[in-house]
Amino acid sequence: MANEFLLSKWKLWYKSLDVNHDGKISIEDVVESRSKFSDLHHLEGAKADQVKENFSKWWDEFVFRGNQGEISLDEFIGALSNDFVKDKSKFKAEMTRCFNIFFDVIDTNKDRSISEDEFLIAFKAYGHENVALDTKFFRAYNPKDGLVSLREIVDSWIDFVTSEDSSKESIVKKAFEGGV
């Protein structure tokens, strides 16, 4: 069993993926996030199709985890718990892949860093509409010249979903608890 600290972060993660705020994660959240993301980036044609495919694949593999088009909080926590308990280093490797892929999509100009614009668009697309809170979240990474390296952001998320060490400050946890 994962400790309370990690369980509480998985709950925050689940909530953060409920794009349409109806209390559960379903295919509707996938559809809404990918279409908002494409709209906000003004993507059309092949580029929009690519994003659609990337988003769907990511949700299927890392969120639905074998469930069909809907996953409850209990199922989500149960699936993460299982994998975590079975093999922690494999779980960490899987979560590394998860956020490498996620932020690779968010980094639309492919400069291996995340700008405030890219960050705000991503969070808006995922239903986090409070721009002031999203901006505060981004700035907690102490951007240099307006940019945060992909590595730093990805590492903060891997830590968020895998670390049982409650003594370490988590930018992601703090942001979600602050209402992002």
Residues making contact with Ca ion (CB under 5 A) = 18, 20, 22, 29, 107, 109, 111
Query: Considering the complex, what minimum distance in angstroms separates the CB of residue 1 from Ca ion?
Result: 27
- Taking the least distance from each CB to Ca ion, the nearer of 14 and 84 is 14
- Taking the least distance from each CB to Ca ion, the nearer of 43 and 164 is 43
Query: Considering the complex, what minimum distance in angstroms separates the CB of residue 21 from Ca ion?
Result: 7
Given a contact cutoff of 8 angstroms between Cβ atoms, the answer to whether 141 and 171 are in contact is yes
- Taking the least distance from each CB to Ca ion, the nearer of 20 and 81 is 20
Instruction: Provide the token pair at 110.
Output: 């492919």
Query: Considering the complex, what minimum distance in angstroms separates the CB of residue 116 from Ca ion?
Result: 10
DSSP state of 140: T
- Taking the least distance from each CB to Ca ion, the nearer of 18 and 83 is 18
* Beta-ladder partners of 115: 147
Query: Considering the complex, what minimum distance in angstroms separates the CB of residue 112 from Ca ion?
Result: 7
DSSP state of 108: T
For 3, 31, 103, 105, 151, the CA distances from 51, given in Å and listed in that order, are: 35, 11, 12, 7, 21
- Taking the least distance from each CB to Ca ion, the nearer of 38 and 162 is 38
Within 13 Å, how many C-alpha atoms sit on residue 37's CB side?
Answer: 28
* Beta-ladder partners of 71: 25
Given a contact cutoff of 8 angstroms between Cβ atoms, the answer to whether 32 and 126 are in contact is no
Query: Considering the complex, what minimum distance in angstroms separates the CB of residue 178 from Ca ion?
Result: 21
